[in-house]
């Protein structure tokens, strides 16, 4: 098992590892977990499958044997859960406790478009499965229950004492756990990354709904899942809330636990994490010594203990202030920056701005409380040596707006970036912040896992838009955007980066008549040699004479504008959608009609490269590729792209490189690769090839392995060829640099 697989396997155990099991106790885990996989100090853990746990002989041999039983979602897969739960109860001693994980059929994720995990269809759980299992012929695969139904199951099984904990995001990815008598006091949209069974069907942003659910008393009833504590005797756990970071690896994984005695405990999940708690204690004292207000705490028995603070987080406070009093908002954000500046010694003040000796990168609003006119900081386990203040302020602004894009309508975030001198190099400072977070959260290691369980916001938006149109309308406006584009005057609406990208990808196939835009300052200018004009030019055309493609991210207002003008012949370009280019006809040269045609493995092949100093190695690759496909497309990186991604100047200009490759008899089509390309993903979306060929020197490259996985998901292959060893562009360039040729 590699490190990534180990990380993923451990994540689900965060659901119950925080529980205070009695030292020396015995615990039975019922479910699909291998024996000895998980350890808890001074607790003896036994593992058994659900089937074995219900066998009469096994029951008799283990009756009254265990202090704790844990089972997660297994009862949902059984037709008679009450009967099974009654049997499990007999396995506990008189003071034993059951910990049960249940999905909630009324979970907010299912109202946002996630599919049922058992029926694999939308809305079955919300409808209480009246269609899914309506016929006797339907095979029962499992079902979820809501809060009231789970209570009924527990009581019928003789478990009359129970306490619900609401689990977010779900049982397999327990980021936050809330006791039923406790509510969040922070903006969850800045904290949570929702997970799903089927992210591709989701059409609502779940994280934006939690504030309203809390305000309307619906938070616990619509939690995605529950952990239920069922003690046969004694008291319930004193825990009100748990934040879990188990996915960060053994050195960084912590539980932050709020107890009902107004104590907050940070606990290392693994022994390797104890050093992180020591770092926290030292960092808090360091900040305090620099005059920064902090939430005081101390290490006690391998846990870091703090008081529970009943106050708004700095994040909630400033968002409220932004809506109520902008002038005061600016003052408080300036004050927040001053506190960051005060947190450490300045080692440099130059071209990069102020450089702090210790940059506490988590000095952001979500890690602070606002009390009596001051920000008090907590959770400062990390710092970056010689850290730019600009990076830290960029992170502050980014986290303030994260998950709250509607704030831009009140005050656009770029105004804040400009206020603090960050706008010019904004991407640089944000990238530094993301690198810090990515390393901490193990985003690189977990990227494949996250891609399967988290939503792409663009897909969510596309799914939502689909609901607003009939099937015919959606197909015409969003899918078949090139219908009639080659027989009518093509007019692009918008003069920004979407239009620029459209031109880069499709101008080779379609003649663009004009570009129109509502911004008068753009009128008269040119974009890629096409004049930008007023939308009023549409009035000079007759219906059926033109086609408008809207190239604007927020296109709703433009649609309304065109509708008001009586323009119905328009579509919407989304750079994240798949719009295959027009395929040119395959022409077979010198084909003997009497010879049988050999069917090739692939229809359309693709090769991408710079092809600088064109040589025999390139020719051999084209030849071998053409032997395997009917139609070979070669993408060539532009000069700008070579400078941007390789940091060098090509020896041979793009215009000459593309002409040389065009002259190769094995190549059917040559296309330019724009500098804005996202490599294989964009190439496939544009050309829909069924195989991409590449040199074998990339066979173990992480990016290419990710590309291989992407292509396989879309029914295409990635084939690696060995390079011609005697000749390569690198060798030729080296000889040129040494003036040997």
> What CATH number is given to the structural domain containing 64?
3.40.50
Same domain, 509 and 654: no
Using alpha carbons, select from 227, 228, 185 the residue that is nearest to residue 210.
185
Q: Are 377 and 419 in contact (CB under 8 A)?
A: no
CA–CA separation, 199 and 459 (whole Å): 9
pLDDT for res 5: 86
Could you tell me the CATH number of the domain that includes residue 529? 3.40.50.720
Q: What whole-number distance in Å separates Cα of residue 14 and Cα of residue 249?
A: 12
CATH number at 669 reads 3.40.50.620
Structure tokens at 479: 């899918």
Residue owning tokens 């019928």: 156
State the CB neighbour count (10 A cutoff) for residue 341. Answer: 15
Domain boundary residue, one of 188, 208, 241: 241
Query: Domain check: are 95 and 10 in the same one?
Result: yes
Nearest residue to 549 via CA among 589, 577, 584? 577
Together in a domain, 64 and 155: yes
In a domain, 585, yes or no: no
Q: Are 295 and 306 in contact (CB under 8 A)?
A: yes
DSSP 477: I
E-state strands within 575-665 = 602-609, 629-637
Instruction: Assess whether 43 and 191 both reside in one domain.
Output: yes
pLDDT at 305: 97
Asked if residue 339 is part of any domain, the answer here is yes
Q: Based on the domain organization, do 477 and 393 belong to the same domain?
A: no
Let me know whether 619 and 499 are in one domain.
Answer: no
Whole-model pTM? 0.79
Residue 463, domain member (yes or no): no
Helix residue spans in 402-496 (DSSP H): 413-419, 426-441, 447-453, 457-466, 471-474
Q: Does residue 11 sit in the same domain as residue 149?
A: yes
**What's the structural domain count of the chain?**
4
In a domain, 423, yes or no: yes
| 147 and 45 fall within a common domain | yes
Which residue, 38, 438, 484, 22, is CA-closest to 248?
438
Same domain for 446 and 555? no
Within a domain: residue 461?
no
From CA 29, how far away is CA 245, in angstroms rounded?
22
Tell me what pLDDT residue 29 has. 95
- Which residues share a beta bridge with 305? 265, 298
Q: Is 684 part of any domain?
A: yes
Instruction: Decide which of 401, 427, 452 is a domain's last residue.
Output: 452
- Token pair in block for residue 602: 């692939």
Q: Sort 236 into a burial class: Cβ within 10 Å, 0-12 / 13-18 / 19+.
A: middle
User: Across 5-58, where does the E strand assignment appear?
Assistant: 26-30, 44-48
Residue 491: its pLDDT value, please? 96
Let me know: does 342 contact 354? Beta carbons within 8 Å. no
Distance CA 352, CA 347 (A): 12
Is 360 in a helix, a strand, or coil?
coil
| Closest residue by Cα to residue 421 from 489, 353, 515, 481 | 353
**pLDDT given at position 734:** 57
Overall residue count recorded for the chain in this entry:
741
Of 452, 479, 495, which closes a domain? 452
By the 8 A CB rule, do 549 and 494 touch? no
Q: In the chain, what is the greatest distance between 2 CA atoms, to the nearest angstrom? A: 92
Same-domain check for residues 365 and 485: no
Q: Do 107 and 236 fall into the same domain? A: yes
Question: Residue 617, Cα to own-chain centre: how many angstroms?
Answer: 39
650 contact partners, CB below 8 Å, separation of at least 6:
610, 612, 639, 642, 657
Question: Do residues 553 and 511 both lie within one domain?
Answer: yes
551 occurs within a structural domain: yes
Contact, 479 vs 578, CB < 8 A?
no
Strands of 438-558 (E only): list them. 489-493, 512-516, 526-527, 530-533, 546-550
Count of alpha carbons within 13 Å of 738, Cβ hemisphere only? Answer: 7
Give me the residues of the chain with pLDDT under 50, please.
35-36, 587, 590-591, 735, 738-741
Give the per-residue pLDDT at 735: 44
Cβ atoms of 268 and 254 within 8 Å: the answer is yes
Residue 431's domain comprises 314-452
Asked if the structure places residue 218 within a domain, the reply is: yes
């Amino acid at each position: 098992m590699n490190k990534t697989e180990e990380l993923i396997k451990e994540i689900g155990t965060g659901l119950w590892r925080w529980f205070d099991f009695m030292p020396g106790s015995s615990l039975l885990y019922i479910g699909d977990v291998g024996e000895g996989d998980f350890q808890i100090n001074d607790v003896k853990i036994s593992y058994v499958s659900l089937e074995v746990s219900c066998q009469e002989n096994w029951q008799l041999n283990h009756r009254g044997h265990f202090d704790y039983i844990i089972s997660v979602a297994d009862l949902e897969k059984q037709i008679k859960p009450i009967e099974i739960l009654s049997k499990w109860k007999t396995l506990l001693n008189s003071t034993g406790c059951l910990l049960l994980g249940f999905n909630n059929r009324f979970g907010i994720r299912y109202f946002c478009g996630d599919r049922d995990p058992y029926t694999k269809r939308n809305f079955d759980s919300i409808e209480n499965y009246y269609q899914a299992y309506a016929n006797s012929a339907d095979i029962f695969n499992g079902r979820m229950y809501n809060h009231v139904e789970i209570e009924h199951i527990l009581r019928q099984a003789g478990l009359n004492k129970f306490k619900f904990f609401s689990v977010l995001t779900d049982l397999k990815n327990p980021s936050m756990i809330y006791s039923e008598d406790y509510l969040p006091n922070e903006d969850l949209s800045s904290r949570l990354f929702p997970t799903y069974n089927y992210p591709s069907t989701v059409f609502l942003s779940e994280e934006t709904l939690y504030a309203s659910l809390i305000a309307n008393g619906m938070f616990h009833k619509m939690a995605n899942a529950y952990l239920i504590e069922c003690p046969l005797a004694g008291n319930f756990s004193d825990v009100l809330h748990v934040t879990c970071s188990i996915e960060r690896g053994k050195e960084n994984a912590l539980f932050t636990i709020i107890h009902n005695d107004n104590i907050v405990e940070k606990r290392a999940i693994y022994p390797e994490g104890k050093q992180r708690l020591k770092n926290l204690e030292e960092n808090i004292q360091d900040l305090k010594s620099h005059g920064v207000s902090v939430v005081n705490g101390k290490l006690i028995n391998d846990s870091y203990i703090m008081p529970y603070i009943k106050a708004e987080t700095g994040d909630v406070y400033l968002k409220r202030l932004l809506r109520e009093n902008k002038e005061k908002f600016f003052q408080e954000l300036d004050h927040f920056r001053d506190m960051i500046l005060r947190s450490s010694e300045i080692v440099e003040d130059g071209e990069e701005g102020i450089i702090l000796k210790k940059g506490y990168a988590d000095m952001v609003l979500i890690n602070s409380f606002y009390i009596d006119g001051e920000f008090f900081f907590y959770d400062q386990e990390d710092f970056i040596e010689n850290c730019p203040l600009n990076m830290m302020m960029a992170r502050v602004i980014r986290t303030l707006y994260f998950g709250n894009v509607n704030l831009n309508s009140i005050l656009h975030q770029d105004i804040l970036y400009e206020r603090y001198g960050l706008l010019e190099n904004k991407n640089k400072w944000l990238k530094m912040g993301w690198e810090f977070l990515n390393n901490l959260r193990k985003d690189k290691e977990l990227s494949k896992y996250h891609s399967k369980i988290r939503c792409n916001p663009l897909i969510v938006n596309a799914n939502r838009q689909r609901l607003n149109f009939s099937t015919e309308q959606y197909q015409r406006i969003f899918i078949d955007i090139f219908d009639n584009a080659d027989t009518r005057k093509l007019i692009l609406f918008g003069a920004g980066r979407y239009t620029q990208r459209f031109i880069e990808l499709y101008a080779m196939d379609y003649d663009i008549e004009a570009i129109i835009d509502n911004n008068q300052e753009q009128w008269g200018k040119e974009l890629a040699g096409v004049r930008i004009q007023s939308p009023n030019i549409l009035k000079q055309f007759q219906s059926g004479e033109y086609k408008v493609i809207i190239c604007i991210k927020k296109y709703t207002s433009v649609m309304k504008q065109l509708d008001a003008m009586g323009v119905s012949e328009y579509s919407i370009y989304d750079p994240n959608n798949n719009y295959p280019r027009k395929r040119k006809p395959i022409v077979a040269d010198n084909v003997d009609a009497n010879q049988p045609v050999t069917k090739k493995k692939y229809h359309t092949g693709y090769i991408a490269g710079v092809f600088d100093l064109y040589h025999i190695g390139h020719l051999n690759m084209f030849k071998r590729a053409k032997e395997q496909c009917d139609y070979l497309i070669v993408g060539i990186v532009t000069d700008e792209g070579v400078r941007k991604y390789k940091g060098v100047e090509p020896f041979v200009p793009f215009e000459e490189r593309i002409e040389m490759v065009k002259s190769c008899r094995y190549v059917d089509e040559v296309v330019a690769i724009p500098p804005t390309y996202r490599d294989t993903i964009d190439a496939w979306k544009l050309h829909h090839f069924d195989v991409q060929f590449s040199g074998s020197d990339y066979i173990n490259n992480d990016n290419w392995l990710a590309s291989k996985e992407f292509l396989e998901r879309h029914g295409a292959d990635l084939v690696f060829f060995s390079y011609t060893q005697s000749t390569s562009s690198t060798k030729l360039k080296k000889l040129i640099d040494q003036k040997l040729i």
